[in-house]
Homo-oligomer: A and B are copies of this chain.
Amino acid sequence: MSKKNGLPCAGGDPLALNRQLCFALYAASRAMTRAYQPMLQELDITYPQYLVLLVLWESEQSGGAGAEIGVGALGKRLMLDSGTLTPLLKRMEARGLLIRRRDSGDERITLVALTDGARGLRPRARDWVESQLDDSAVSRETLEQLRSGLWKLLEGLERSG
Contacts and interface: CB of A to CB of B under 8 A. Distances in A.
Contacts of A122: 15
Interface stretch (A63-71, A87-95, A110-118, A123-131): A123-131
Contact of A156 (B26, B133, B138): B138
Contact of A55 (B17, B137, B153): B17
* Chain A residues touching B, range: 35 or more
A157 to B, nearest CB: 4
A158 B156 CA distance: 29
Nearest to A50: B22
Contacts of A158: 31
A43 interface: no
Best-buried of A20, A21, A79, A160 by chain B (most CB within 10 Å)? A21
A28 B31 contact: no
A79 B24 contact: no
22 contacts: A14-B129, A15-B58, A17-B55, A18-B151, A22-B33, A22-B47, A24-B150, A25-B32, A26-B47, A26-B51, A27-B150, A27-B154, A28-B154, A30-B79, A32-B153, A32-B157, A35-B160, A137-B159, A137-B160, A142-B152, A145-B149, A146-B150
Interface of A: 4-5, 7, 10, 13-36, 47, 51, 54-55, 57-58, 61-62, 77-79, 122, 125-126, 129-130, 133, 135-138, 142-143, 145-161
